[in-house]
Amino acid sequence: MISLVHYLTVAAILFIIGVYGVLTKRNIVTILMSIELMLNAVNINLVAFSRFIQPEVLTGQVFSIFTITVAASEVAVGLALLFRVYHDYDTVHIDKLNRMRW
Amino acid sequence: MFNEYALHHAWLIPLLPAIAFVVIGFFLRKSPVLSAFLAITMSMVSFILSLGVGYGVVVQHITVEHPLIDKIPWVDIAGLSINMGMYIDPVSALMLFIVTLVSLLVQIYAVGYMKGDDGFGRFFAYLSLFAATMLGLIIAVNFVQMFIFWELVGLCSYLLIGYYFHKPSACEASKKAFMTTRIGDFGLLLGILLLQIVFGTLDFAQLTIAIPEYVQQYGTGVLTVAALLIFAGPIAKSGQFPLHVWLPDAMEGPTPVSALIHAATMVVAGVYLVVRVFFLYSMLPNVMLIIAWVGGFTACFAATIAITQQDIKRILAYSTISQLGYMMLALGVGSVTASMFHLMTHAFFKALMFLAAGSVMHGLHDKGNIFEMGGLRHKMPITFAAMTIGVLAISGIPPFAGFFSKDEILLAVSEVSAPLYIIAVVTAFMTAFYMFRLLFLVFCGPEKPENNPHEAPSTMKFSLIILSIFAIIGGYIPHVYHFGEWIRFGDASHEGLNWTIAATSMVLSVLAMALAWLIYGSGKVSPDRLAMRFSTLYNVSYHKYYIDELYLWLNYTFVRGFGKILYWLDLYIVDGIVNGLAKLTYRMGDELRQWQTGYLQQYGLILFGAILIMVVWLVITAPISMASLRGGAY
Amino acid sequence: MNITLLTSEIAIICLSLLIIILDLLLPRFETRRSLGYLAAAGVAGVFAYTCTQYGVSATVYQGLFTLDSFALFFKQIFLLAILLTLLFSFDYVEGLAKYQGEFYALLLLAVAGMMIMASANDLLTVFIGTELMTVTFYILVGYQFNSSKSSEAGMKYMILGSVSSAVLLYGVSWVYGCTGSIVFEQIAKHANTSLGMLFGFGLIVAGLFFKMALIPFHMWAPEIYEGAPTPITAMLSMGSKVAGLAVLLRMVFIAFVPMQAYWGGIVSIIAAITMIGGTVIAMWQTNIKRMMAYSSITQAGYMIVGLLSADASGIKSVLFYAMLYMFANVGVFATIIAVKKHHGSNEIKDFSGLAQQSPLLAVVMTVSLLSMAGIPPMAGFAGKLYVFSTVIEKGYLWLGLLGFVMSMISVYYYLNVTKVIYMNEPCVQKEFIVSQPLRIAALISLLATLWIGIYPGPLAELANTAARSLSIL
C-alpha cells in the first residue's frame, strides 16, 4: 500500500534534485528545467496531502492547478528572457552572465 | 463674531508670517517690493488678528485662571505624547499684541531704512521668520513647544545679527550671541527634562495643577533645582548678569533688528518664560529671591556702564539690559503685573528710541559716536521729538508711559525689600542721567559742520510717530483701565499710585536731567575733567567692568589648557578607537562585497545555505522556545 | 459575496488591459506619452476611491481576500508609489526602444499583484499576488533592449525568483499538510508545532525574506537594481519590498500567532545582520543605483525590526516607516532619472554640481537621503524613533543601539552623495532639463518628507488605525 509518506519522500527527492540542478548545471535551459522539478515536487505534495488529509475537500488539488498554470507562465517568461540573453551574450552559459558585481 | 474667530484661529498669527517667510525665501527674494509688501501684509493681518484676540479675551472673560487652550497631538510614541497648540490668556494676548505691533512698525520702518540694500528680500524673510517663531513661542502650550520656538528665535537672532555677514565684527557678534545663549539653553533643557522626569508631563495647564500638590507632598528640593536650571534660559536670553555680554555686541545687526529683537521682543522672551511658569516660581521663595537680586543687580550694573558709553546703540543696549533687570526684579518680588506692564511700556519706548537712533545714524551715514553728533534738532525735528518722548518715557516723567510702569515696580519692590528698593531708585536716577546725556549730546549744542544730516524718509517717520503715541499714552490708558485685573498671578494687585514713591522717583529724574544738562547740555562742567577726576571709576565703567576681557582670559587659560589635555586624549585614545572602528567597518564592507561575485549559482548556494540554517535553527530551538513560551504563559 | 471589495484591483487590471488595446490602436511611430498620462490619471482615480474605503472590514471568496484598513494603507502606498513613479518616468519610457505602451500596462499589472498581496488572507491568494507581481517584474527588469546589463539582470532575477517561489510553495504545501487549510484564520486554529509545520513555516518566511531582500537572502538585489530600468528599480525597492512586508505582517500576526516565540530570535538576528551588512557594503559603492540597492536592504532591516514588538504599536511603526520610505525613494529615484538623462550613466560622480544645475533636485535628493539616514527634521527620524522606541520597550535594547549606530554610519555614505552634489563643479556644461511631471513628483516627495518629519501626527494616527484593524493580540 502506498502511503502519504511515500508520496512525500518522492516529492522531497524531486525537490532536492531540482535544487541540485539549479546549483550545478551551467546551461540556463537545464536550470529552468530544474526549477520545474522543484515546482512539480510541490504539486505532488499538495495533491498527496489533499488526498490523504481531506479527501472530501479539494483545496490542495485546486492549488496545484494554480501552481501548474503559474509555472507555465514563468517558463514562458524565462525562455523569452533567454532569447534576449542569447542575443546579447551569444551563449546560454550562466557563468558568462557576469558583467555586474561588487 | 470677529473676536470669536480670532480667538479660535489664533494659531494663524504665527502661521501667516511663516508663510511670508517661505514664499519670500523661495520665490520673491529677488524682488524687494513684493517681498516687503508680502511681509508687511502678513504682519498687518497678524496684528489685526491679535487685536481680535485681545478683544475676545476681554469680552469672553478669559482670565489667567481660565485660559483658552486648544491643542493637537504632535508626536505620540509609547509613553510620550507631545502636543502643539495655543494657550490664550490675557498675558499671551498682551504679548501677541506687543509683538505684532512692534514687528509691523519695524517692518514698515525697514522699508525706508534698508532701501537699496542687496539683501532686502532676505532681510524681510528673516524678519518674518523671526515674527513667526516669536509668536509661536508666545502661544506655547507646553515646555517642548516653548523650547523649540525658543531655539528658533535664537536662530533668527543669530541670522539677523550676522546679517552683514561680510563684516567680521558682525560674524563674531552673531557667533557670540549664539554661543552665550546656548549656555542658558542647555540649562533650560536640563530643567525641562527634570520636570518631565518628575511629573511625566510638560503641559503648562497640567503642571499648574500638579506642582502645588507635589510641593505639599514632597517639599521643594527637586523643584528648586529644576527652577534654577530653567532660569538659566532667561538669564542668557534676557541678557541678565553674567550672561549679558552678547547683547551689546548684537548691535552689529541692522538697527531695525536691534529695535525689534534686541529691545522690544526677543530679549523679553526670558521674562515671558518666567511669567508663563510662574506657577513654579511662586512656590519657591528662595528662587524668587535669587531672581530679584539677579534682576536688581543687572539693572544697576548695566546702568553704570551705560553712563560712559559713547556709541549711541551701545548706550541703548545697556539701557535695555538694565530695563530687563528691572522686569526680572519685579518678577522676583512677585509682581507679574508690574513686570508685564513695564515689559509693554518698555517695548514701546525702547523700540521708539532704537528707531530714532537708527534714523539719526541713517541721517549721518552710519556714524554712531554721540560725541561726534550735536545740534541735530534743527535738521531732524521729527526724530528729535521721537527721541525726546522716548527719553522722557524711560526716565519716568509723568504722564509718559514709563512713569506708570516704573512706579508700579518701585512700589512692588518697596513692599518686599528695602535694599532692593534703594538699588532700583539709584538705577532710575542713573537711567534718567545717561538718557538725557544722550539726548543733549546728540540733539542740542552746536551743529557739527562735517555732518550733513537729513530727515528720515516717510516710512520711517510713520513708525516713529505711531510709536511715539504709544510711548505717551501706553502707560496712562492701561493704568486707568485696570491693567492689574487682567495681567496678574493670583489675586489682583491694588490700584492707584503711591504718591510718595512716585514723587521721589520723579524728583530724582528731574535732578538727573538737570545734572545731565549741567555737564553735557550747557557745557558748564567739562565731562572730560570729570572723567579725569574719577578716572578709575570711569575706566571701569567704560570698559564694562572688564567682563569681556575676563571671559576672554578665562576662555584662553581654561579652554586652551583643557583643550591641550583633551586634544591629547582625543588624538591618542578617542581617535584611536573611532578610527579603528571606522577602519573595521570599512574593511568589513570591502570583505563582504567580495561575496557579490556576479556568479548566479553562488548566490543560489548562499540562498539555500541560509534557508537551511534558518529551518534547522527553527527546528532545534523549538523545544527551548516551547519551554520559554510555557514558562511565560503558565 | 461582495465583489465590490475588489473594485480597485479590477479597475487597475482593466486600466492595464485598456492601455494594451489603445497601444495597438495608436499609430506605430507616435509617442506613448498619452498612455502614460492615462495610466497616471487612472491610478489617481483609484487612489481617490481607496480613500473612501477606510473603515471597511470585510472578506470575499470564503475569506480568501480581505479588505481592511491595514490592506488599504498598503494599497495606498503602492498606488502613490506607482503614481509618482509614472510621473517621473515619462521621459525615461520615451527613451525605450520598443514597446513603450506595454511598459505602462505591465507596471500596472505589477501593482495589481502588490495590491492583491496586501489583501491576501490565504496562502493561495498570497501565491497568486506574489507571482503576478514577480513575473511581471521579470519582464520589466529585462525591458531595456539596448542594454545587456538589463537582460542579464532579468535572467538572474527570473531564476532566483522562481527558485524562491518554489521554496515558498514547498513550504506552503507543508503548512497545508499539517493544518489542512490554507486560510490564515484556519491555519491559526489548527496550528501545531510539529516538525513539518516548522519546516513549512521556515520555508515560507524565507521566500518572503527573499522578496524583501534581507541579508542573507539579498544576493540578487544589487545586480537587479543596477541592471533594471530605473523606474523598475524604484518600483522594486518601493513595491516589491513593501508588498512582501505586508504579506509577512498579516501572515505572522494572523496565521502563525502560535509560533511567535519561534521567530523572535530569527527575525532579530536577520534584522541585525541586514542593518550591518547593508550599511557597510553600501559605503563601497560607486554606482548610485547599486548604492540604493544596499540602502534599501538596510531600510528593510529597519522595517522588520518593528515586527519584534508583536503588538499594534510595533505594526504601526512599520506601516509608518513604509510610507515615509516610499516618499524618500521617490525623491531619490526621480533625481537619478534626471541625472541619468543628462549624463547617460548612473555613477555617483555624475551628481557633481547638481546644486548649480538644478537646485530643486539637489534639495530633493539631500532631503530624501537624510530622511533615509534618519536625521531630524526629516520623516526618517520620526520613523526610526517609532520603530526603535517600540522594540526597546520590548527589551531589544541591543537592537535599538545597533540601529542607532548603523544610522550614524549610514550618514557617511548618504552625505557622500550630498557632498558631491554641493561641493563639486558640474563636469558637463550643458543645459540641465527637468521635465514638469518629474519636477512635480520630486516636489511631492520633498513636501511629504518634510511634512511627515515636522508633523508626524496625522500619518501616525492613520497607521495606528490600520495596525489596529489587523485585529490580533
pLDDT per residue as tens digits for the range B518-536:
777 776 666 677 677 777 7
User: What is the average per-residue pLDDT within B404-418?
Assistant: 84
- Rounded Cα–Cα distance for residues B241 and B298 (Å): 5
**In Å, what is the CA distance from C168 to each residue of A96, B175, B237, B471, B578?**
28, 61, 63, 81, 43
Cα dist. C293→A41, B501, C232 in Å?
A: 33, 77, 12
Is residue C415 less than 8 Å (CB to CB) from chain A?
no
CB contact under 8 A, A23 and B599: no
B7: Cβ contacts below 8 Å, ≥ 6 apart:
B52, B53, B56, B57, B60, B62, B68, B88
Pair B425, B433: CB distance under 8 Å: no
Residue B633: what pLDDT? 34
| Residue in B590, B611, B629 closest to C203 by CB | B611
Residue A99's closest chain B neighbor by CA?
Answer: B598
Do the beta carbons of residue B109 and residue B355 sit within 8 Å? yes
Percent of the residues in chain C that have a pLDDT greater than 70, as a whole number: 99
- Which residue of B593, B601, B608 is in closest CB contact with A94? B601
Q: What is the pLDDT of residue A74?
A: 92
Chain A residues whose CB is inside 8 A of the C294 CB are none
**Which of the four pLDDT bands, split at 50, 70 and 90, describes residue B581?**
confident
| pLDDT attached to residue B77 | 63
Range 311-350 of C in CB contact (< 8 A) with B: 313
Q: From the CA of A24, how many Å to the nearest CA of chain B?
A: 7
For B627, other C-beta atoms within 10 Å of its C-beta total 11
Which among C222, C281, C457 has the least Cβ separation from residue B76?
C457
- Domain edges within chain A: 4-100
Cell 508588498 -> residue: C243
The C-alpha atoms of residue B252 and residue B165 are separated, in whole angstroms, by 10
pTM: 0.72
Distance from CA of A1 to the nearest CA of C (A): 20
pLDDT (tens digit per residue) in A65-89:
999 999 999 999 999 999 999 998 8
Q: How far apart are CA B299 and CA B303, in angstroms?
A: 6
Which residues of A are less than 8 Å from B597 in CB distance? 98, 101
Q: Could you give the CA distance from residue C397 to residue C380 in angstroms, rounded to a whole number? A: 20
The answer, yes or no, to whether residue C19 has pLDDT greater than 80, is: yes
Give B36-87 pLDDT, tens digit per residue. 888 888 888 889 888 888 888 888 888 777 888 888 777 766 556 778 888 8
Q: Write out the DSSP string of C17-42.
A: HHHHHHHHHS-TTS-SHHHHHHHHHH
Rounded to an integer, the average pLDDT of B548-563 is 71
Q: Does a cis peptide bond (omega within 30 degrees of 0) precede residue C216?
A: yes
Rama region for A32: left / alpha / beta (φ>0; ψ in -120 to 50; rest) = alpha
Contact C466, C319 (CB under 8 A): yes
Report domain extents, chain C: 3-468
In angstroms, rounded to a whole number, what is the distance separating the alpha carbons of residues C250 and C385?
Answer: 23
- Is A56's Cβ below 8 Å from some Cβ in C? no
- Is A22 within 8 Å of B598 when comparing Cβ atoms? no
- CB contact under 8 Å between B606 and C284, yes or no, is no
Q: Residues C89, C230: contact at Cβ < 8 Å? A: yes
Region C226-235: mean pLDDT is 92
> Which residues in chain C are closer than 8 Å to A62, comparing Cβ atoms?
124
Assign residue B47 a region (left: φ > 0; alpha: ψ between -120 and 50; beta: otherwise): alpha
B596 touches chain A (CB under 8 A): yes
Report CB contact under 8 Å: B601, A100. Answer: no
pLDDT the model gives residue C428:
72
* Residues B148-163, mean pLDDT to the nearest whole number: 84
B580 touches chain C (CB under 8 A): no
Quote the CA–CA distance of B35 and B110 in Å, as a whole number.
Answer: 12
pLDDT value at C210 more than 90:
yes
Distance CA C158, CA A31 (A): 11
B79·C393 Cβ contact <8 A: yes
pLDDT digits (tens, 9 = 90+) for C136-151: 999 999 988 888 889 9
Put simply, whether B219 touches C (Cβ < 8 Å) is: no
* A61 interface with C at CB cutoff 8 Å: no
Who has greater pLDDT, B584 or A57?
Answer: A57
Specify the DSSP class assigned to residue A93.
B
CA–CA separation, C468 and C449 (whole Å): 24
Q: Percent of chain C, pLDDT > 90? A: 44
Considering B177-181, B266-270, B592-596, C57-61, the range whose residues carry the highest mean pLDDT is B266-270
Residue C122: φ, ψ to 5°: -150, 165
Residue B202 scores a pLDDT above 90 = no
Q: How many CA atoms lie within 13 A of B580 on its CB side?
A: 7
Using alpha carbons, select from C128, C257, C131, C118 the residue that is nearest to residue C184. Answer: C257
Cell of C302: 529597519
Q: Please state which architecture CATH assigns to domain A4-100.
A: Orthogonal Bundle (1.10)
By Cβ distance, the residue of A8, A22, A81 closest to C151 is: A81
DSSP state of B495: P
Q: Is the pLDDT of residue B625 over 60?
A: no
- Chain C, nearest residue to B585 by Cα: C280
Number of C-beta neighbours around residue B305 at 10 A: 26
pLDDT tens per residue across span B388-399: 888 888 888 878
pLDDT (0 to 100) of residue C205: 92
